[in-house]
Structure 1
Amino acid sequence: MSISFVRIDDRMIHGLITVRWGKEYPCDGIIAINDKAASNPILSEAYKAASDKKTFVWTLAHFEQVKDRVLNSSTKYFLITKNPQDMKKILVDMQFKPSDVKTVIVGPGNDRDNAIKLGDNQSFTQEEGDSFEAIEKAGYQVEFALLPDQRIGNWSKFKSRFGY
């Protein structure tokens, strides 16, 4: 198993990821995919410092180049993107299929203009909703949970608010 946990979290890597989620889904390392963070050495180092696990911060293009090595690795990784669109690119467009993962856990989404509020600190735009729909159609369950014990439901519960 190479990927033990898949998450969308606008903060990407922080203490709750490794401490709380790490108990439920053990991992040896973290792969964070975000073009802006990967292209900014200060941001990249800050994310790496947020965890005591081996941490990679990659662009989407780099991930596409190494995705098969990730799948075949004996190391168990968390796969995290900052936004649903990037996760859709990985799971749907690149057809990356982590064999043991059937659920994408969605964490915080900041309140913004034109965002639909689903729960506390979980607001998403129509474009993000379109990505959730595509991820679900690719065979994944999309579940909204800030923490393991703070689950507010899955995409099926909220999709009508985005026109699905």
Structure 2
Amino acid sequence: MAISFVRIDDRMIHGLITVRWGKEYPCDGIIAVNDKAANNAILAEAYKAASDKKTFVWTLDHFNQVRDKVLSSETKYFLITKNPQDMKTILVDMNFKPGDIKTIIVGPGNDREGAIKLGDNQSFTQSEGDAFEAIEKNGYNVEFALLPDQRLGDWNKFKSRFGY
């Protein structure tokens, strides 16, 4: 299987991703998908330096171009986006199927104006909630967890706070 773990994390790549989540879901590499990071050489290099794994930072368009290569790879990758809208683009709009993975893990979301706080360091806007709803309607379980042992619950627990 080419994709071993799928996550939405506003920090994308950091130590907790490779160390803690890597124990739960072994991987050989990381694919981070975010247009802004991929188009900024300094940002892309910083993300690559945050892990000792083979790391790629791609635009949504590039990911769509190489998606079949990713799926047929012998390498086990984490697939990470910075925000729920990018993950919705991949899973719903592009109809990308990450192997047998049915749970999308949502990590940190910064507190900001207009965001609904679900738990410590997990706040999301209405448009992010709309993306979670679309992802769930496309057959995935959306689970909020900063760490494997710090799980807040799934989208069904919080969706009413976003009008669903």
Q: Could you say which TM-score interval applies, normalised by the shorter chain?
A: over 0.9
- The 3-state SS of whatever aligns with 2:139 is coil
- Specify the alignment match of 2:28 in structure 1: 28
Q: How does 1:101-120 map to 2 (within 5 A)?
A: 101-120=101-120
Q: Secondary structure at the match of 2:11?
A: coil
Structure 1 residue matching 2:99: 3-state secondary structure: coil
Question: Which segments of 5 or more consecutive residues in structure 2 lack a partner in the other structure?
Answer: none
Query: Which string of whole-angstrom CA distances, capped at 9 and with x for unpartnered residues, describes residues 40-70 of structure 1?
Result: 0000000000000000000000001000111
SS at match of 2:108: coil
Partner of residue 155, structure 1: 155
Runs of 4+ in 1 over 2 A off after TM superposition: none
Q: Tell me what 2:59 maps to.
A: 59
SS where residue 149 of structure 2 aligns?
A: coil
- TM-score, normalised to structure 2's length? 0.99
Any idea what SS the aligned residue of 1:146 has?
Answer: strand
Shift of 1:99: 1.6
Post-superposition Cα deviations, 1:125-164, rounded to whole Å, max 9, x if no partner, equal 0000000000000000000000000000000000000000
CA–CA distance in 2 between the matches of 1:96 and 1:2?
A: 13
Please report how far the alpha carbon of residue 32 of structure 1 lies from its aligned counterpart in structure 2 after TM superposition.
Answer: 0.1
Equivalent residue pairs, number: 164
| Cα deviation code 1:89-133 (max 9, x no counterpart) | 000000000122110000000001100000000000000000000
What does 1:1-164 correspond to in 2, within 5 Å? 1-164=1-164
Q: CA RMSD in A?
A: 0.4
Cα distance between partner residues in 2 of 1:44 and 1:126: 28
* TM-score, with structure 1 as normaliser: 0.99
CA distance in 1, matches of 2:67, 2:16: 26
Alignment gaps of 5+ in structure 1:
none
**Cα offset, 1:77, TM superposition:** 0.1
Q: Look up the equivalent residue of 1:116 and give its one-letter code.
A: I
Letter aligned with residue 10 of structure 1: D
Distance 1:142 1:37 in 2: 24
For 2:95 and 2:163, how far apart are their aligned partners in 1? 25
1:104 counterpart SS class: strand
